[in-house]
Amino acid sequence: MKKSFGLTFVLFLISFSMNAQKFEITPQYGYQIGSKYNYNGGYLKLDDSSQYGLTLDVSLSNDMQAEFYWAQQNTSLRIKDVILYPKEEELTDVVINHYQIGAIHKFGYSDVLPFIGISAGWSTFNAEEERFGSITTFTMGLTGGMKYFFTDNIGIRLQSQLLMPINWGGVYVGGGGAGVTAGGSILQLNFSAGLILGFGS
């Protein structure tokens, strides 16, 4: 359902862009800072890792753009628990996909355009080990950065983004009648750069 909604929105943006002043496609690559969720007796932690993705922007006015953002992170989930795992151990590899829909506001009218933005969407956490399953969460995001254009339609995008998956966890680890269930909100901060390919005028 969520993937279908995301695809529908992307197709809407592409269709809308045919009549819009300008639209941009930006492949991006960056670095995702690790995050930790503390619970009573231990913590769960996602490791730092690289990430890659794609952003589609459609101009709504001279300083506003609608935006769809997708990024994938391949990382590891670790745990430390006072009873089950006294020393930190890796549980499983995890593939995380973020899907965000929002808007950014640009400042200035030169080749350098700072921007800020807000978004909402969902994130999927897919564990390599089947016993941990897959989790989908509602996610909010805040973005800030700058665009620099070499020409009217080619530029670079540098940004930092704070993603806030809500109730991402719900991981059960244990055996022999003992276990731990943990989950909650985490903060995920990333930094990325991308090549802007602009279309329209």
pLDDT at 101: 96
Do you know the residue count of the chain? 201
The alpha carbon of residue 31 and the mean position of all alpha carbons in its chain are separated, in whole angstroms, by 11
CATH number of the domain to which 41 belongs: 2.40.160.20
Helix (H) or strand (E) holding 7: helix 2-17
Q: Which domain holds residue 73?
A: 2-200
**Pairing state of beta strands 49-59 and 22-32?**
antiparallel
Structural domain total, the chain: 1
Beta bridge partners of residue 200, listed in sequence order: 22
Cα 141 from Cα 139, distance rounded (Å)? 7
- Provide φ and ψ at 18, rounded to 5°: -60, -30
pLDDT at 177: 43
pLDDT at 127: 87
Give the three-state DSSP class for 9.
helix
pLDDT at 141: 95
| Residue ranges for the chain with pLDDT beneath 70 | 1-21, 167-185, 201
The alpha carbon of residue 170 and the mean position of all alpha carbons in its chain are separated, in whole angstroms, by 20
